[in-house]
Structure 1
Amino acid sequence: MRNIFVLALNTLKVTLRKKSNLIGYFIMPILSLAIIMAIMGKGEVTKIKIGVVNKDNSVISMDMLKYLENTGKFENIPIEEKDVQNNVVNKNVNLAIIIPKGFSEEIYNNKLESIKMVSIQGKEVTAWVENYTNLYIKNILDIAKASKGNKDKFNAIYNGYKNQDLKLSVEKVKDKELNKELTERGLGILIMFLLIGATSTSNIILKEKRERTYQRICSTPVNSRIYMISNILANLIIISIQVILAIVAIKCILNIDIYMEVYKLFLVMMLLGIVSIGIGMIVVAFSESTAEAGNLSTLIITPTCMLGGCFWPIEIMPDKIQRISNFVPQKWAIEAISKLQNGGGIKDTGINIVILLAFALVLFLVATFKMKKSDKIGSFI
Structure 2
Amino acid sequence: MNSLYIALNMLRRTLFQKKGFLMYLLIPVTAVSLIIGVLGKQADNRIDIVYLNLDKGTLGTHLLHELSSYPDYRLQEQTSETALKEKVVKQKASGAFVIPDNFSETLMQGLSPQVDMYQLNLSEASITLKMTLDSVLTRYQSTAALTNKPNLSKEAHLEAVEKTLTQSEKHQVSSQMTDLGLYVNPNMHIVIGFMLMFMMGVISNTVSVVMEDRRMRTLARTFTAPVRSVEIMLGNFLGSFLVGTLQVVVILIVTRYVTHYDYGLPFFSQFIILEFFLLASMGIASAIAGMVKNAQNISIINSIIITPTCMLGGCFWPITLMPDWMQKLANFVPQKWVIDAIQRMASGQSLSQMWMHMGVLTLFALILLGIGSVILRPGDAEAA
State whether residues 184 and 346 of structure 2, in contact with CA within 8 Å, keep that contact through their aligned partners in structure 1.
no
Per the TM alignment, residue 303 of structure 1 is displaced from its structure 2 partner at its CA by 2.6
Per the TM alignment, residue 265 of structure 1 is displaced from its structure 2 partner at its CA by 1.6
CA distance in 2, matches of 1:13, 1:100: 71
Query: Please, which runs of 5 or more residues in structure 2 have no aligned partner?
Result: 150-156
State yes or no: 1:23 paired with 2:26. Answer: no
Equivalent in the alignment of 2:311: 306
Structure showing greater radius of gyration is 2
Equivalent in the alignment of 2:167: 163
CA distance in 1, matches of 2:52, 2:238: 67
| 1:333-373: CA deviation from partner (whole Å, max 9, x where unpaired) | 122222222232113323322222232233223334x669x
CA distance in 1, matches of 2:214, 2:70: 65
The one of 188, 200, 204 aligned to 2:193: 188
Determine helix, strand or coil for the equivalent of 1:169: coil
Per the TM alignment, residue 300 of structure 1 is displaced from its structure 2 partner at its CA by 1.7
The one of 333, 336, 345 aligned to 2:341: 336
Equivalent in the alignment of 1:118: 119
Equivalent in the alignment of 2:360: 355
CA distance in 2, matches of 1:205, 1:227: 11
State the AA in 2 paired with 1:218. Answer: F
The one of 125, 128, 131 aligned to 2:128: 131
Identity of aligned pairs, percent?
A: 22
CA distance in 2, matches of 1:376, 1:58: 93
Matches within 5 A, 1:84-233: 87-91=87-91, 93-98=92-97, 118-119=119-120, 126-128=123-125, 130-131=127-128, 133-135=130-132, 137-138=134-135, 141=138, 152=148, 160-164=164-168, 167-169=172-174, 180=185, 185-220=190-225, 222=227, 226-233=231-238
Per the TM alignment, residue 266 of structure 1 is displaced from its structure 2 partner at its CA by 1.3
Equivalent in the alignment of 2:301: 296
Deviates more, 1:149-158 or 1:347-356: 149-158
Equivalent in the alignment of 2:5: 6
TM-score (norm 1): 0.76
Per the TM alignment, residue 191 of structure 1 is displaced from its structure 2 partner at its CA by 1.8
| 1:35-70: CA deviation from partner (whole Å, max 9, x where unpaired) | 223334777569644344779888666644444444
| 1:115-167: CA deviation from partner (whole Å, max 9, x where unpaired) | 755236x8xxx3245435534644654676x7797683898688535423763
Change (3 A) 1:250 1:150: same
The one of 360, 376, 380 aligned to 1:377: 380
State the AA in 2 paired with 1:378. Answer: A
Change (3 A) 1:174 1:294: same
Determine helix, strand or coil for the equivalent of 2:14: helix
Higher relative contact order (CA 8 A, sep 6+): 2
Determine helix, strand or coil for the equivalent of 1:16: coil
Change (3 A) 1:160 1:111: closer
Number of equivalent positions: 371
Change (3 A) 1:161 1:100: closer
Change (3 A) 1:239 1:331: same
State yes or no: 1:269 paired with 2:274. Answer: yes
Determine helix, strand or coil for the equivalent of 1:97: strand
State the AA in 2 paired with 1:295. Answer: I
Per the TM alignment, residue 313 of structure 1 is displaced from its structure 2 partner at its CA by 4.6
The one of 245, 252, 271 aligned to 1:247: 252
| 1:78-125: CA deviation from partner (whole Å, max 9, x where unpaired) | 38667777544433x2333356979997999999999755236x8xxx
State whether residues 182 and 346 of structure 2, in contact with CA within 8 Å, keep that contact through their aligned partners in structure 1.
no
State yes or no: 1:234 paired with 2:239. Answer: yes
State yes or no: 1:345 paired with 2:350. Answer: yes
Superposition CA RMSD, Å: 4.4
State the AA in 1 paired with 2:340. Answer: E
| 1:271-305: CA deviation from partner (whole Å, max 9, x where unpaired) | 11111211211221222222321011112222322
State whether residues 143 and 158 of structure 1, in contact with CA within 8 Å, keep that contact through their aligned partners in structure 2.
no
State the AA in 2 paired with 1:167. Answer: Q
Per the TM alignment, residue 14 of structure 1 is displaced from its structure 2 partner at its CA by 2.5
Change (3 A) 1:298 1:138: same
Deviates more, 1:302-311 or 1:211-220: 302-311
State the AA in 1 paired with 2:380. Answer: I
